[in-house]
Structure 1
Amino acid sequence: MGIVLKQSFRNTIIIYSAFLVGGINTIVFYPRILESEFYGMVTFLLSASNLVMPLTAFGIQYTIVKFFSSYETKEEKDKFLSSVIFLPLLIAIPLGFMWNYAHDWIMSKVTVENQIIEDYTFSIYLIAIACAYFELFYSWTKVQFQTVFGNILKELWNRVVVFLLLIAVSLDFITKSDFILYLTIAYIIRAFVMMFYAFYMYLPKFHFKLPENYKEILQYSLYIILAGSAGAILLDIDKIMIPGKDTIEKAAYYSVAVFIGSFIEAPSRAMTQILQPLTSKSLNEFNTKEVENLYKKSSINLLLVGGLFFLLVNCGVSELFKLMPEKGYAGGEWVVLMISFAKLYTMFLGSNGAIINNSTFYKVTLPIALGMSVFVYLLNKLFYFNLEFGTDGLALATLLTILIFNTFKLWFVYKKFSITPFTPKSFKMGMIILFMFVAFYFWDFNLPELEIMEFSITPIINILLKSIIITLVYVFVVLKLKVSNEIDSLLKRFYK
């Protein structure tokens, strides 16, 4: 786990730095500068591009990770990379010619009040293509076991660009419409930067010959493209469905709550960058013992770190919403709780997804992804449109879908590999999180109202004091009970 923890630690710092910038954008700048209507439109455009991206990527980002380590000679590796680099164009080019039809279909799914979207739908296409090629070249560097620079581009680039563009809008350097244009250009530039770095890390001698196992590559890519497209529905379909029923401002309100709830998943995203290629390598070498070792250690370490942020987020969220400028943003505590719990359960599964995606049983990802997308869509229709649960219903649909299908994935890996992420420490860690949640969730410091330039800082002080206490108690208990050897060693560097 040495390389895993080393790069995961760096990636976690990067991702939480990105979340910090993103938090400033989401909680402070977006609502005040773009305001809820335009912010809701940006949310819609980015969510729509996330739905299109897996289709245009052709699954190549996963194909590179799965197959690269299986080739033994440089010539074989070069043939492989030469053949996959152009595959996304097979879908991207025809899709571009048909975009007028896609535009008309998108506009038919939004209400009359949300026609502001109409002038910006082509950004969905451009951002999707840029993200597809970014992911391709990011995987290119992952198989070289270099994930940090790509992670900076993936997590920090866009948020810093948004931060700068929002300031530019506030100073009247650019208009709100220009904001969309420059954000789209930033995604395109990011893809080119990632490409240059990927070629710097590994520049193949380009061949115009297909690798011998090209049929297997195409078959895998087709499965993954379908699975990825279906899986993207789970992540973004709720934000896409909101303008079909309510005003687009609701998408902004819901997006903020989802962002806060997703804050806890940064360690998982960081560790996955290096776990994917390592798990693939172990599977290609038939080293089941190492696969199990990665499975168990990633599970307990992600549960430990994710558990702390789960507590910090949920025990301070009510105070955090008091800082929002519009009342529509408040009242999202249940959304935050459900989304964060879904993320925590996914983190508990550790490298489960990497095992399935990179094994000979990868075909099961398609029915799982299709099942999840259909299930969450039907639950969204039931809870949001029929039962009028509001955005709480959208979050509940996501939570139930993740609980059910991730449990199936847990069982599937056990059935095929006879391994689980469970250790005696898993139960111990779960009890720590539960008891501390009950202890800290229902109270806040009763502080007097304090203001600086007519801005109340009482919620900020409350959050800081409560977070310090939770962190100190959590770290003390975790060290006392020796839950993770890796975390123990890391923490002891700071207090010895």
Structure 2
Amino acid sequence: MGIVLRQGIRNTLISYVGMGIGFANTIFVLPRLLTPGQIGLTSLLVSFATIGAQLSAFGFASAGLRYFPYFRNQGRNHAGFLPLLLGLPLLGFAAMTVVMSLGQPLVLRWYGPADAALLGQHYGVAVGLAGAIMLGGLLDAYLKSLFHTSFASFCQEILLRLLIVGSALAYSAHYLSFAGFVVAYASAYAVVAVLLVAYAAAIGELHLRPTRAALRVKPLGEMLGFGGFALLSNISGTVLLNIDNIMVGAKVSLAAAGIYLVATNVSTALTLPFRALNKTAFSLIAEYWKEQDLGKMGAFYQRVTRVNTLVGCYLALGIGLNLDFIFSLIHRPEYAAGAGAVVLLLVGRLFDGITGVNGTIVVTSPRYRFDLLFNVLLASAVVGLNWLLIPRYELVGAALAYCVALVSINTVRTWFVWHFYRLQPFDGHIPRLLLVAAVAGLATWALPTLPNLWLTMLMRGSVLTVLYGAGVLLTGTAPEAVALLRKLRRR
């Protein structure tokens, strides 16, 4: 248990540092160094590669985590587990390479002449990038199974982002052509995969000789069945994260896709506290299911919703009311065209956080297979709404599609949890919290804009903090905040 605890602490620190670097890179560094069209192109290549990697791996990263305990310690090479883990995905990647290559004319047909020409010049990079992403994901799963997670987390969360920024800096300093930058961008993922291979070798766990014993530990059909289920679940999440950017690029332009990506990254700041809290929530809710203690689960469900509402409303207002300041830091006025999309994305992600941990409850429950249905419905809704809304409203249409899909699926999930388990996330504190947030937000929005954007941001941030904090404490809408304040006073 000691190694798990140590690795968990290190991974948490690495994740937060990586999120900070990633946020700074995608909001303030890369948009300054690259045009919207260049960012749109790289994001499109990563989106295609990510989908290709998921299909190639056929869910074997998840299957590896699920089945490795049966192979562990069966001989020095874990009964030939690693060749089995890599073998079928590598065959899948070979097939995917053929599919992606033959499908290039069809893909390019989605885009305008200028964008298609640019994408066509670099399309081959997406194929190699898919292989690097797939290999990195499989090795990450293998190292997780061995309880060696810190190095992989460092490579994926910190080193990868630093390598990408280094490539952009080299391009902006004219050490690389743009074609060289695209190759360097993709090579950063390959470097991570190679380092994970080297790390596995360094700890004595790189066993690449296949054995027949691997096929006797667990039936291959069972592993393929689980991998197929995992693939359907994972690919729906991958589609959700990438399809809007792909469709904006296809139906508007690569430049619009770059602007939309920056808007998405701005709104992602709202989700960071939700993700941190949900990491703890997953293990706790799984324990409540084990104990069959729905009372404690219901109390925890409402407590998480209160905290997410408290923090989420404050962050959403802080971001939404200071978009002029945030986009001014990029020093490229064309990116400000994504401000309307940011607002809609904030609404969708705030609702996703406020509805608490309904998805975690479903996926850890006896009815966990319904989570796949919800994910597929969510991905389908995003694709359908994007198809309808992007041609008419462009960036705002993509954001509206994402917002409507998130609100709809979370409403269904919340009803599902209430219908089957009589658990719901809301108590009397939530309406009061929302009212306090609305009053504080409107009062802050009504403030005049000062000649200096920094002073405007400081004024709005200060007024919002005072009004929101005072409203929460005086109305007693967040018992957790009151308890924390009392604790700080005693100290």
**TM tier relative to shorter chain:** 0.7 to 0.9
Query: One-letter code of the match for 1:460?
Result: W
**2:439 pairs with 1:435:** yes
CA distance in 2 between partners of 1:147 and 1:437 (Å): 42
Indicate the residue corresponding to 1:58 in structure 2: 58
- Cα distance per residue 1:207-259 (max 9 Å; x no partner): 61455576555333312312322332222212112232333211112211111
Are residues 1:410 and 2:404 paired?
A: no
What amino acid maps onto 1:414 in structure 2? W
Q: Does the CA contact (< 8 Å) of 1:49 and 1:125 recur in 2?
A: yes
Distance 1:75 1:282 in 2: 33
Amino acid at match of 1:248: L
SS at match of 1:109: coil
RMSD: 4.1
CA contact (8 A) 1:140 1:198 kept: no
Alpha-carbon deviations, 1:377-424, whole Å to 9, x = none? Answer: 222222222xx2121111101111111112112222333333333344
Q: 1:470 Cα shift?
A: 2.9
1:62-461 → structure 2 map (5 Å cutoff): 62-63=62-63, 84=85, 86-114=87-115, 115-138=117-140, 151-193=153-195, 208-209=214-215, 211-212=217-218, 217-273=223-279, 275-276=281-282, 279-280=285-286, 283=289, 292=298, 295-385=301-391, 388-446=392-450, 448=451, 458-461=452-455
Query: Deviations 1:4-38 (Å, cap 9, x if unpaired)?
Result: xx999987775565454444434444344222222
More moved, 97-106 vs 57-66 = 57-66
Deviates more, 1:300-309 or 1:162-171: 300-309
> How far apart in 1 are the matches of 2:401 and 2:126?
25
One-letter identity of the residue aligned with 1:113:
A
Code of the residue aligned with 1:348 in structure 2: it is I
Maintained 8 Å contact 1:231/1:373? yes
CA deviation string 1:183-223 (max 9, x = no partner): 21211222344567789999699961455576555333312
Distance 2:439 2:203 in 1: 47
With over 3 angstroms needed to count, the CA separation of the structure-2 counterparts of 1:43 and 1:10, relative to structure 1, is same
197-206 or 119-128, which deviates more: 197-206
Shift of the 348–220 alpha-carbon distance from structure 1 to 2, 3 Å rule, reads farther
Equivalent AA in structure 2 for residue 344 of structure 1 = L
Which residue of structure 2 aligns with residue 483 of structure 1? 478
In the alignment, the residues of structure 1 paired with residue 151 and residue 41 of structure 2 have an alpha-carbon distance, to the nearest angstrom, of 30
Assess, with a 3 A threshold, how the Cα gap between structure 1 residues 142 and 484 changes in structure 2: closer, same or farther: farther
Amino acid at match of 2:103: A
Q: Does the 8 Å contact 2:316/2:350 carry over to 1? A: yes
After the TM superposition, which of the residue ranges 458-467 and 479-488 deviates more from structure 2? 479-488
Q: Provide the residue aligned with 2:37 in structure 1.
A: 37
Matched-pair contact (CA < 8 Å) for 1:294–1:351: no
Q: Is the 8 A contact 2:132 2:189 kept in 1?
A: yes
SS at match of 1:390: helix
Which stretches in structure 1 are left out of the alignment for 5+ residues? 1-5, 449-457
Question: Rg bigger for which structure?
Answer: 2
Rate the CA distance shift 1:409–1:439 in 2: closer, same or farther, 3 A: same
**Counterpart amino acid of residue 396 in structure 2:** D
Taking the aligned partners of 2:8 and 2:354, their CA distance within structure 1 comes to 16
User: Hey, what's the Cα distance between the residues in 1 that align with 2:71 and 2:283?
Assistant: 15
**2:260 partner SS:** helix
Q: Which deviates the most, 280-289 or 407-416? A: 280-289
C-alpha contact 2:197 2:206 (8 A) present in aligned 1: no
- Normalising by the residue count of structure 1, what TM-score does the alignment of the two structures yield? 0.80
CA distance in 2, matches of 1:193, 1:277: 30
Aligned AA for 1:56? S
Aligned length: 480
1:75-117 deviation digits (Å, cap 9, x = unpaired): 69x6796565655335223212433113233222222110111
SS of 1:389 mapped into structure 2: helix
CA distance in 2: counterparts of 1:363 and 1:251, whole angstroms: 34
Identity between Structure 1 and Structure 2 (%): 22
The residue number in structure 2 matching 1:455 is none
